[in-house]
Amino acid sequence: MKNIVLALLFVLICNFAFGQAQISVKSFSRQENDMTARIESPKKDQNGDVCAIIKVVTTQTGFSWEPDGLGIVSAEPKVGEYWLYVPYGAKRLTIKHPQLGILRDYMYPIPIEKATVYIMELTTGKIKITVDETIESQWLLISTDPLGADVYINDKPAGKTPYQNELPVGKYTWRLQKELYQNDAGVVELTAGGQKQKIDLKLKPNFGSMQLSTTPEAGATVSLNGMETQKVTPCVFDRLPSGEHTITVSRDMYETTTQRFTIVAGENKPLSIVMKPTFAGVTINSDPKADIYINGQFKINGSWQGRLGPGVYTFEGKLDKHQTAIEKQSVEVGQPLNLTLRPIPLTGNLKVMSSPFEALVKINGKEMGQTPITIKNLLIGDYTVEISLSGFTTAIEKTTIAEGQTAIVNTTLVNGKPVTVNSVPSGVQLYIDGNLSGTTPYNGGLTFGNHTLRIEQNGQKAERTITIAQSGGESSFTLALGPVSFTETVNGINFDMVGIKGSSFQMGSNDGQSNEKPVHKVTLSDFAIGKTEVTVALFREFVNETGYRTDAENNNGGSYFWSGSKWELRAGINWRYDSKGNLRPQSESIHPIIHVSWNDAIAFCKWLSKKTFKTYRLPTEAEWEYAATCSGTEGSNNTKNKWSGTNIETNIGDYAWFTGNSGLITHMVGTRQHNFLGLYDMSGNVWEWCNDLYGDYKTDSQVNPTGSQTTENRVYRGGSWGSNPTYGSATFRGSSSSDLRSTDLGFRLVYVP
């Protein structure tokens, strides 16, 4: 083997004379925010106290350390520094190096305290190694699982794993470091002409995991070592560094709890924290079922269960026609409270007599017995008393029960049964079997059999023959005098219907969209149409009376809004909300109803028809277009405008709320100018549902057309606050499924005599 001469020349570069120590302390300071000694890497001295750490910052290696009488617990080389674990109270330190000399008895300038980190920055001379002659070498390969460990060769940083390097032959110390894993070290010898040295290691973890739970309830928020974690219990913390940690859990109605725990490397630690409640479980019942209030705030009707913090509370049970039950109770932590509130009924009595007697008595539809009868302990208020006997007209009497008093109903039954006769308009003369019987509406009794009803006003007449049957059959009848305008009142809310004389007109447009063609002749019968769109106030009466749930409310379905690029469904929005998605204030009750589907509009019409004994429905497309655009005059004088009220685009803002003047919200109905027929908002404000199924127009003349029978979509007309003038034209047609609801879609009514 070739002889190799290795000459090492050590040259000290410094500003001191030969033989003088090349070591000095540049700075020594305490690190207030460094938790290494306390949390991350603590060590204890022989007395069980947590050591201080002096982190010695230096670019050199090969130092040795001589402490004072208290000693050094451990000296650990790190990247770019040494960690000296010293007992608290240490006073001085001697630093030695084989090339750089000795720094004797360096006195610490500040006291050394427990579990505290200090930085000592050294200033030293430099060592330069000059290699003469060619060096025999060999490859050293180091791989770890996991990868990415820092590699130190002879205490000098050499890279990260996977590590491969060609080194001069000889013995080397190697050391591996990786965050959250235990250090590993050893000695390897590289020989000339030998095999490559390969080291494969699986690093031992220096972390564990912790499974956290809270009792008696989960759902507590968690902080670890003073930092929020965005976790709630139960939860798992993986890869926690070994050592001591602090966990804090907090939850509404429980005391915030802090606990310390220690993780050992490789440990999967279960930790359950018991939280102390700051509440009591409270159950409030009512008998009879009543509205429950706690400290004046409404909670629920019937029974309430929940949690309350300690204190004195006022519990109330409120029920119409009852004296409010009030209880004041003290609530203490951990002591359940069960309370039943009993409102006291306010009652009076009722005597019912009839001629002939032994007639069946019903009060608000419930059978109570036969006349004469005294009914005791009725709740105060208004009642409808129905007195019936076979072969006689049923008597309907209204009475009021006052607290502590007895009301009396005494009636004479007549042969026949009660009927109601309404008319459009109301207040006209009514003839029954040729005899003047007063003015409409009429409520009275008619004998069994056939009768002729006739109404008259200003030379107009309407006649109808009816049959009064002993069992079943109609008991309410309506007659109408042609296309008469009238005002309807429902639950104290008025709305106007405008009578429209039937006529012929040219429906559609050859200048519009393809679905507006072809223009064709349509003839309509008399009808009446709403002067304005149906309002929020009127729709509210429908919902309050029937409990109806709209398509937007079912399954929290919501309604559609325009995002700027497409229509998007927004959950939780229904008829109670405005065009921006905010709850409507009471002051906007006269705005048009929106967020309602065709299905909802049909349900409203059925309710209104039943309540008023008239037939209300949505307008057909033909009725809508005629009412929106025609003058209502006969023959060639029946002019047709492009928009409702005008044929001039620059005048649209006088008749319609659209994008140019609406501010992109709905507005109170009837606040723009009306059209020829006295109708408002036929163009703009909101789109309006029609009764028809959507389909292509036919070319032939038609009488009272009702739309296509081949599609499933329903028609809507008129444009809205969010439309430009094109969509607001009286001939423009839109269509969608019957369950569509959106922020700009409502409806108006039609009545057919």
Q: Is residue 223 part of a domain?
A: yes
**In the structure encoding, which two tokens stand for residue 189, read together?**
């010898």
Give the residue, 177 or 502, on which the prediction is more confident. Answer: 177
Cα-to-chain-centroid distance, residue 267: 42
Contacts of 275 (CB under 8 A, 6+ apart): 214, 215, 216, 217, 220, 249, 251, 254, 255, 257
Q: Is the pLDDT of residue 13 over 80?
A: no
Q: Which of 295-299, 310-314, 643-647 has the lowest mean pLDDT?
A: 643-647
pLDDT band at 22 (very low <50, low <70, confident <90, very high): confident
**Cα(468)–Cα(149) distance, integer angstroms:** 101
Does 471 lie in the same domain as 330? Answer: no
Phi/psi of residue 581, each to 5°? 90, 15
Peptide bond into 234 cis (omega under 30): yes
- Name the helix (H) or strand (E) containing 30: strand 23-31
Q: Is residue 551 part of a domain?
A: no
**First vs last C-alpha separation in the chain:** 125
Does 740 lie in the same domain as 653? Answer: yes
Does 515 lie in the same domain as 443? Answer: no
**Cα(619)–Cα(524) distance, integer angstroms:** 12
3-class DSSP state of 94: strand
**In the structure encoding, which two tokens stand for residue 311, read together?**
């204190």
β-bridge pairing 381-388 and 527-530: unpaired
The predicted pLDDT at position 636 comes to 39
Average pLDDT of the residues of the chain:
90
Q: Is residue 458 part of a domain?
A: yes
Q: Is the pLDDT of residue 753 over 80?
A: no
β-bridge pairing 745-746 and 687-693: parallel
The tens digit of pLDDT for each residue in 631-684 reads 655 443 456 789 998 988 889 999 999 999 999 999 999 999 999 899 999 999
CB distance 133 to 5 below 8 Å: yes
Helices 598-612 & 536-546, crossing angle to 10 degrees? 80
Q: Is residue 639 part of a domain?
A: yes
Q: Is residue 569 part of a domain?
A: no
Does 139 lie in the same domain as 103? Answer: no
The predicted pLDDT at position 631 comes to 64
The predicted pLDDT at position 134 comes to 62
Q: Is the pLDDT of residue 301 over 70?
A: yes
Residues constituting the chain:
753
Does 81 lie in the same domain as 144? Answer: no
Q: Is residue 41 part of a domain?
A: yes
Peptide bond into 162 cis (omega under 30): yes
Residue where one domain finishes, among candidates 107, 126, 145: 126
The top-scoring range by mean pLDDT among 471-480, 642-651, 683-692, 695-704 is 683-692
CB distance 703 to 555 below 8 Å: no
The closest of 406, 401, 380 to 323, measured between CA atoms, is: 380
* Beta strands in 333-441, from DSSP E residues, in sequence order: 337-341, 344-345, 347-355, 360-363, 366-370, 373-379, 381-388, 395-401, 406-412, 417-424, 429-432, 435-439
3-state helix, strand, coil in the chain (%, to 5): 10, 50, 45
Does 704 lie in the same domain as 604? Answer: yes
User: What DSSP character marks residue 686?
Assistant: S
The CATH code of the domain that includes 692 is 3.90.1580.10
β-bridge pairing 150-153 and 170-178: antiparallel
The predicted pLDDT at position 192 comes to 85
Does 38 lie in the same domain as 28? Answer: yes
**Cα(21)–Cα(99) distance, integer angstroms:** 9
Q: Which residue has the tokens 């009808």?
A: 527
Residue where one domain finishes, among candidates 101, 126, 151: 126
Q: Is the pLDDT of residue 391 over 90?
A: no
CB distance 34 to 98 below 8 Å: no
**Cα(372)–Cα(361) distance, integer angstroms:** 9
Output the pTM of the full model. Answer: 0.44
3-class DSSP state of 641: coil
Q: Which of 113-117, 126-130, 179-183, 564-568 has the lowest mean pLDDT?
A: 126-130
Does 376 lie in the same domain as 235? Answer: no
Q: Is the pLDDT of residue 566 over 80?
A: yes
Name all contacts of 289-297 with Cβ < 8 Å and 24+ positions apart.
Answer: 289/319, 290/317, 290/318, 290/319, 290/322, 290/325, 290/341, 290/343, 291/317, 291/318, 291/319, 292/316, 292/317, 292/341, 293/317, 293/318
**Cα(533)–Cα(728) distance, integer angstroms:** 15
**In the structure encoding, which two tokens stand for residue 135, read together?**
């060096």
Does 56 lie in the same domain as 118? Answer: yes
Contacts of 554 (CB under 8 A, 6+ apart): none
Does 72 lie in the same domain as 173? Answer: no
The predicted pLDDT at position 20 comes to 54
DSSP string for 438-483: EESSEEEEE-SEEEEEEEEETTEEEEEEEEE-SSSS--EEEEE-SS
Q: Is the pLDDT of residue 685 over 90?
A: yes
The CATH code of the domain that includes 458 is 2.60.40.1120
For residue 48, the enclosing domain spans 21-126
Does 145 lie in the same domain as 92? Answer: no
Does 358 lie in the same domain as 308? Answer: no
pLDDT band at 18 (very low <50, low <70, confident <90, very high): very low
How would you class 325 by CB atoms within 10 Å of its CB: exposed for 0-12, middle for 13-18, buried for 19 or more?
buried
The closest of 35, 28, 53 to 43, measured between CA atoms, is: 53
Q: Is the pLDDT of residue 39 over 90?
A: no
Buried b (16+ CB within 10 A) or exposed e, 176-212: bbbeebebbeeebebeeeeeebebeeebebbbbbbeb
Q: Is residue 4 part of a domain?
A: no
The CATH code of the domain that includes 376 is 2.60.40.10
Residue where one domain finishes, among candidates 126, 147, 164: 126
Q: Is residue 356 part of a domain?
A: yes
The tens digit of pLDDT for each residue in 503-557 reads 899 999 998 899 999 999 999 998 999 999 999 999 999 999 999 999 999 988 9
pLDDT band at 236 (very low <50, low <70, confident <90, very high): very high
The total number of structural domains that make up the chain: 7
